[in-house]
Chains A and B, each alone.
Chain A
Amino acid sequence: MIDPASGPFLFDTSAESWLARAQQPAVQNWLRQYLALHQVYVSAVTVLERSRGYALLWRSAPEERRSAIEARRIAYLGQLGRVLALDSATAVVAGEIMALIPQPPTPPRRSHSLVESRSDRLSRWRFDATIAATALVARAPLIHNNPEDFETIRSAIERSPGRFPGLGPLELLRCAALA
C-alpha cells in the first residue's frame, strides 16, 4: 500500500477516472484519505483530454441526454484540484521524451467495432509523454493505469540521464498497488 501522506501525487488521465469509479472499499478509502491530506494534482493535458471528451460526448448525444453530460462536465471541472501548467521546462522535457520514443509502444485501442486511428494514438502518446514530463519537472510520483506506455518512458529516461539533467528517475505508482 502507498501511504496517502507521502503525496501529493500527479494523477494520469486514466488513473484519475479509474480511482473515481473504483468500487473496492479499500481503494475508495485510500482516495478518501488522500483527499483529506492533499489535492489531486493533474497536468493541464489531462484537463484538455477530459474537456475534449465531454465536448465530444455532448456533441454526439441526443438532445435529451445533453444536460446529463453537461452536469458531469461541471462536476468534474468544479472539483479540479491543482492543475500543473504546460510551462517551458515541461515543454523541453516532453520534447526530449517524444524524440527518444517517437512512436507509441502499443497499438491503437479497440472496443467492439470501434477503433482508435493511428493519428489519434500518436496524439495520445504525445499527451502521455507530456504528462510524464510534468511529473518529472514537478518531482511528483505519477499514478497511472497504463504500465506499457509509462514504463517505456521511465526506462528511456533511465537510459539517457544526460538528456534530463537534474531530473528523474520518473517515479511510477500503479493504481492497483495504491490500496
Chain B
Amino acid sequence: MTGKNHSKPAKRRTTLTLPVDTLSHAERIARQRNMSLSSVVAEALDEGLRVHASTQRSEEVLKAYQQAFSGLSQEELMILDGIILEPASARQA
C-alpha cells in the first residue's frame, strides 16, 4: 500500500464562464491572500458544494421524519411516543 495517490487531489483543466463581478471578487481575494485564482475558486466551490450537500441531507432527513409520523391518529402517535394506552373498561374488568 502506498500513500502516493493521496498526497494531492487530482486536477483537471477546464473553462468556466463566470459573472464578471464574481470573478473580480475572486481575483481580489487571490491577490490579498497571495493565492492562485484557481485555488480561490476551488475553495469557494468546495464550500458551496458542502452547503449544498448539507441542505440536501437536511431535506432527506426531514422527509423521512415526516413520513415516519404521517397518517397516524393521535392515539397511535402517543404509542410511538412511548405512551401505551389501553381501554379503560378492560383495566376495570
Which residues of A come within 8 Å of B, CB atoms?
Answer: 13-14, 17, 19-21, 28, 31-33, 35-37, 40, 49-50, 52-54, 56-57, 68, 71-73, 75-76, 78-79, 81, 109-117, 120, 124, 127
Contacts and interface: CB of A to CB of B under 8 A. Distances in A.
A62 to B, nearest CB: 13
A152 B89 CA distance: 32
Contact of B81 (A36, A37, A49): A49
Q: Looking at chain A's contact residues, is the secondary structure mostly helix, strand, loop, or mixed?
A: helix
Contacts of A110: 85, 88
Interface stretch (B3-11, B20-28, B32-40, B55-63): B55-63
Contact of A117 (B65, B70, B77, B86): B86
A72 B58 contact: no
Q: Looking at chain B's contact residues, is the secondary structure mostly helix, strand, loop, or mixed?
A: helix
**Interface pairs A-B: 10 shortest CB-CB:** A49-B82, A35-B58, A79-B64, A114-B85, A76-B68, A20-B65, A53-B80, A75-B67, A36-B54, A36-B58
A35 B74 CA distance: 26
Interface of B: 51, 54-55, 57-62, 64-72, 74-89, 91
Contacts of A37: 54
Contacts of A75: 64-65, 67-68
B76 to A, nearest CB: 6
A19 B66 CA distance: 9
A32 B80 contact: no
A120 B91 CA distance: 13
Contacts of A78: 64
Contact of B80 (A54, A112, A116, A120): A54
20 contacts: A14-B81, A14-B82, A20-B62, A21-B69, A36-B54, A37-B54, A40-B61, A50-B80, A52-B82, A53-B80, A71-B67, A79-B68, A109-B83, A111-B74, A112-B75, A115-B86, A116-B84, A116-B85, A117-B91, A120-B83
